Chains A and B, each alone.
Chain A
Amino acid sequence: MADILQLLVAGLATGAIYALVAIGFTLLWQTSQTINFAQGEFVMLPAFFVLIAMSYFGLSFWPAVAVGTLVSIIVLGALFKRLVVDPMIRHGVLPLVIATIGLAILMKEAVREFYGADAQPFPPLAADINVTILGVAFAMQSLVVLAIGIAAVVALQLFLNRTRTGRCMQATAQNPTAARLLGIPVERMILYTFLINGALVALASILITPIYLAKFTNGEWLGLYAFIAAIVGGFNQVRGAIAGGLLLGVVDNFAAAYLSSQYRMALPLLILIVVILFRPQGLLGRIEERTV
């Protein structure tokens, strides 16, 4: 029983991280029909911004995190939108997909070239100790990550549902034409989603890199998990991304513990295939009315 609880909490912790990445991915798709194949690399990169801020600019951890997040929001948010998405969006979805694949390669190689190919350690947010709750030992890391992840998701949900800007963003996501008619500054709303994605990937990066170390290849599997989480949960709902991420984290953790570790990835992939074929709107999604 204790084992299961530990696995559950650890799974929810990584799941929360996947949820953050999946939310960003979903938001981009909803508001601007952008499928960001580089989302995994977007999560890989901010950790390196932080490392660079610490080693080359001599900042201590938390200021470096602030700088890294800011750079992420600007570069992976605003610049990404301006320089990559905007010129491309009129050509349709496929060219943008290809461009983001190219972007992923660019980011990966840039890190390998300019920083190095070796895995770098990354400072964890919490000490490597165990906390005992109700007689079960949990890793402090997991609890902290889970707490932060939940806090971020809750904050985001509050923003989207309770603030005016947030509701405008939701309206833009559901129907940009109608939103425009209502006087919502759709372009600005779209920019906000990109900025939010920049922040989300930065947060996810800081949470996950301590576990897996900073390596230029992280994006490959992170991206895959983000896609699976977003689609399984429901590609057109933020709630779906949350559910998908948490589910994926838990499933992945249990699979690694009880199934063969070699085929660990197979379970999420099979779930993805089954969901796409039999319930493409995902577990929580609505059937997509908008044509691609």
Chain B
Amino acid sequence: MRRGLLAGIVLTLAAAFLIAAPFAFKPYGIFILSMWAVMTIAAIGLNLTLGYAGQISLAQAAFVGIGAYITAYLTTRGWPFWITYVFGAVACFAIGWLLGYPALRVQHHYLAFVTLAFNTLVYLVFRNEEWVTGGIYGISNVPRPHVLGWPTNGPREFYYFCLAHLALISLASWWVIRSPWGRAFMALRENPVRALSLGVDTRRYTLMAFALGAGLGGIAGALYAPLVQFVDPTPFALGLSLNLLLMVVVGGSGYFFGPFLGAIVAVLLPEWLRFTEGFYLMGYALLVIILMAFRPTGLLGLADRLLKPRSKPAAKVAAATPDAAMQTEAAR
């Protein structure tokens, strides 16, 4: 139970920090924390698709972008935030579902390239369709929403808004992962042939994994727009997809808190190490390479290994059973 206790302590401290942080940080620091929360939501989505369901996607940035542009476009034209938010999530869910179809035909590296191409195409649309996206000039002055009449214009207020979303999304994704859906996703990831033979409709679950991941990306985008209050194509290029992928894998693919950790490493660290600029990025890249060589299960995989209770080897478990006791007797 040592692990559970440790996890509980870490989580409580983290939660306390997150709630108290805005009082200790300057506006820019609070902004970065809000960005961390938003990126974590996007990474949670990708973790669902990749970590739990085993489907590689390099298209997550496109969904963040779609969500961001929908919200930016509509709120700057007077629509209330909540409608645009739902719009964005549903649109991304639907497009993500469609993107799942290629995943039914190809796997692994081919799927990576299809999603990569999709992301780049979406980026081109963002950049070129000026009449809706404003092209390279983007959409500015994106307003911040009102929550039940309370404005969220200030950095602190908007931060809590993002944090609340992160909490809700975390709960929701926790629920999904623990549900039979989560079990089916894992079966899909580990052994699709066996899963099929047990009645798991791998086709539907694959599409659902993409749709859910994309929907969460859209929600992250819907929060990104009022956070930065300016939306242009550059953030949603392939680079962000790759970065989100790194976040998920570095944090620990398939671990619930992987995205949180990965986003800390990818979003918060560069800011805290700002003075080193390029060197920070090089250090991050080196960390990724070394991590992949020694512990491809990511930072949480590393923690898991370090904190593992004495794992009972198969022989011990087997020896503890009466049948096996007879069997070892008979073998002598």
Q: Which residues of A contact B (CB under 8 A)?
A: 35, 84, 87-88, 91-99, 101-103, 105-106, 109-110, 112-113, 220, 224, 227-228, 231, 260, 262-263, 265-266, 269-270, 272-273, 276-277, 280, 292
Contacts and interface: CB of A to CB of B under 8 A. Distances in A.
A144 to B, nearest CB: 31
B172 to A, nearest CB: 26
B interface secondary structure, majority:
helix
Nearest to B288: A102
Nearest to B287: A102
B227 interface: no
A interface secondary structure, majority:
helix
8 contacts: A91-B293, A97-B109, A98-B249, A102-B286, A109-B281, A228-B117, A276-B110, A280-B106
Given A87-B293, A98-B292, A269-B121, A110 B282 contact: yes
Contacts of A95: 249, 292-293, 296
A88 B293 contact: yes
A109 B117 contact: no
A231 B111 CA distance: 12
Nearest to B118: A273
Interface in B39-80: 56
Interface of B: 56, 102, 105-110, 112-114, 116-118, 120-121, 124, 127-128, 238-239, 242, 245-246, 249, 277-279, 281-282, 284-289, 292-294, 296
A113 B278 contact: yes
A276 B102 contact: yes
A102 B113 contact: no
A105 B285 contact: yes
A149 B137 CA distance: 40
B288 to A, nearest CB: 3
B109 A35 contact: yes
B285 A265 contact: no
Given A99-B292, A265-B120, A220 B113 contact: no
B126 to A, nearest CB: 11
Given A98-B249, A105-B284, A292 B108 contact: yes
A102 B102 CA distance: 26
